[in-house]
A = this chain, B = another copy of it.
């Protein structure tokens, strides 16, 4: 008997025939309904993420089996029980469809109560971070998604502060994690580190602007940057291709390294390699978002209605939206987290440790000098222990908060349960 690897869950929104339900290019709804569409290629490109099968060596004899091949399943089970956390930062000037795209990606309503600032407010306001968290569940898998938005970016006249707000936010999360990880209560650490930064480039420029380059240069060693060309439905295919080429050239010329796709193992199967190549080749992703559901050929699609046709967000011929979603969520989300942990956070941590030890050395030097000249080093020692005590007080306060939150949650759950029981009885 052979062990079958976990089958790849197919994204329900992407049955293989999906690409054909809406016509590519400027074809109208009517022509689509008549089946007048170029199906084949899109259908293939539009396929769900592929997980190649792990190797399944055959065993000659029954007794060659020990049993540890279940280890990945043990890990799988545990991860489901624990749940996942992911933080996405969205950077780019107003009007590039950031919020719409996020809502399209996560089918959420994160920005439903948003009020558009008027021009005066926009000119006044500085770049300010806005953080939204939602707990979502899909097929028994729980995800705590945090979206960090920088809504005023580019609106204020002084753009130089923009990068400071972003880097400060990223560093703060790293610092918090560093404190938590160095503390004694490590089992309940919340990971608020930014795992990915979607950087929106406007479609109307000829390439990256100096402002973009400045910001990206300041971020690329701190966070996984993924470039996205927003509102790409104002560019035709050729224009998209050209813009992508220029952007990649700019990045190369400026020695900027965005998030690197991990190398595809040579033993992966061909479909997976092909999908990987396609994803890589699409960078930077040219996307169109929409929260409007249109009915096209009897199917409901997220789209944008123009007098000359319907842009179907999920049609790979129309935009890279599905590729971005596949990459960001279905295939590389864990790698983005791992890269954050192994590369970006470790860099930050190394800097921290180096600063701390330099500080300690200076402190010791001071004390020694003091003790030799028998002056007052007492203050320094007290302030050091003071700092330690304050740190611990801070940790205790944090834990108290957590306890209160959990108590509240427990109470809520209890109440909900009681209520539910009531309603069940009512029925």
A residues at B contact (CB < 8 Å):
1, 3-15, 49, 51, 54-57, 59, 61-81, 84, 86, 105-107, 136-141, 143, 183-188, 265, 293, 300, 302, 325-326, 329-335, 338, 342, 346, 349-350, 353, 357, 361, 364-365, 367-368, 370-378, 381-382, 384-385, 388-389, 392-393, 395-397, 399-400, 402-404, 406-407, 409-411, 413-414, 416-417, 420-421, 424
Contacts and interface: CB of A to CB of B under 8 A. Distances in A.
Nearest to A78: B334
Number of copies of chain A assembled together: 2
Contacts of A188: 400, 403, 407
Given A73-B51, A371-B370, A400 B400 contact: no
Contacts of A71: 79, 84, 141, 143, 333-334
A81 B265 contact: yes
A338 to B, nearest CB: 7
A395 B117 CA distance: 47
The 4 closest A-B pairs by CB, nearest first: A6-B6, A55-B140, A74-B334, A12-B65
Contacts of A64: 12-13, 107
A96 B166 CA distance: 63
A262 B388 CA distance: 36
Contacts of A365: 381
A141 B389 contact: no
Contacts of A353: 184
A120 to B, nearest CB: 38
Nearest to A51: B73
Contacts of A61: 300
B377 A67 contact: no
Contact of A392 (B63, B79, B187, B392): B392
Main secondary structure of the interface of A (DSSP, over half): helix
A106 B184 contact: no
A389 B357 CA distance: 11
B403 A402 contact: yes
Contact of A65 (B11, B57, B377): B11
A65 B187 CA distance: 31
Contact of A68 (B70, B138, B342, B411): B138
Given A185-B403, A377-B368, A11 B67 contact: yes
A43 to B, nearest CB: 15
Given A66-B106, A76-B72, A376 B371 contact: yes
12 contacts: A3-B9, A14-B62, A14-B65, A63-B293, A66-B105, A66-B107, A72-B77, A74-B332, A75-B75, A75-B76, A399-B403, A406-B406
Nearest to A384: B364
Contacts of A385: 361, 364, 382, 385, 389
A13 B342 CA distance: 39
